[in-house]
Structure 1
């Protein structure tokens, strides 16, 4: 699923997070679930500290990494969908 470009994402405040060796580790106390983000997932998590549109997030990653924009959109959408399922991020459609 690719999200509409104007969809806004932001972190959920619930998971406890820490950074270890450049990667984010999260623990959701309500479900006792543990999550680990690699370096790219950590970059996405950093961008979501403030509300960020899907198109802006993908554009920032495209500028930072040498990958085709359509691949970035697909991979970012998959990660965000998974994070939504686990309550790690919230989304708003203006």
Structure 2
């Protein structure tokens, strides 16, 4: 999955090896595996909260468009870019929609 792009049909979930904390309105985390720190910001933090329970990218976009004043197409594009960055940093797990176990 590392070289593939994420699509709306993929199921996204958090990896287990991250430490996460809230700082003001931002969410910051550290990868135990790599020792790197990340600041997800407020919206990235909201995405992180939503994918605590594995969900499809399409459903994630639906939730975000209800919570934020954003066009669905723009939201989908930006979410996929963000998720691909998280995947590159090994912060999320991605499965095909038909898969049940993450």
Please give the TM-score of this superposition, normalised by the length of structure 2. 0.85
SS at match of 1:73: helix
What's 1:40 paired with? 43
1:1-27 residue CA offsets vs partner (Å, 9 max, x unmatched): 973322100000111111111211111
Asked if 1:23 is matched to 2:26, the reply is yes
**Cα separation, 2, equivalents of 1:14 and 1:30:** 6
Gaps of 5+ in 1: none
Q: Bigger CA drift: 54-63 or 31-40?
A: 31-40
Which 4+ runs in 1 deviate beyond 6 A? none
Counterpart among 2, 6, 9 of residue 3 in structure 1:
6
- Give the equivalent residue in structure 2 for 1:90: 93
- For the pair 1:69 / 2:72, whether they are aligned, the reply is yes
Cα distance in structure 2, aligned partners of 1:6 and 1:36: 26
What root-mean-square deviation, in Å, do the aligned CA atoms of Structure 1 and Structure 2 show?
A: 1.5
2:56 aligns with: 53
Shift of 1:32: 1.9
Q: Give the direction of change, closer, same or farther, for the CA distance of 1:71–1:2 in structure 2 (3 Å limit).
A: farther
User: Does the CA contact (< 8 Å) of 1:2 and 1:73 recur in 2?
Assistant: no
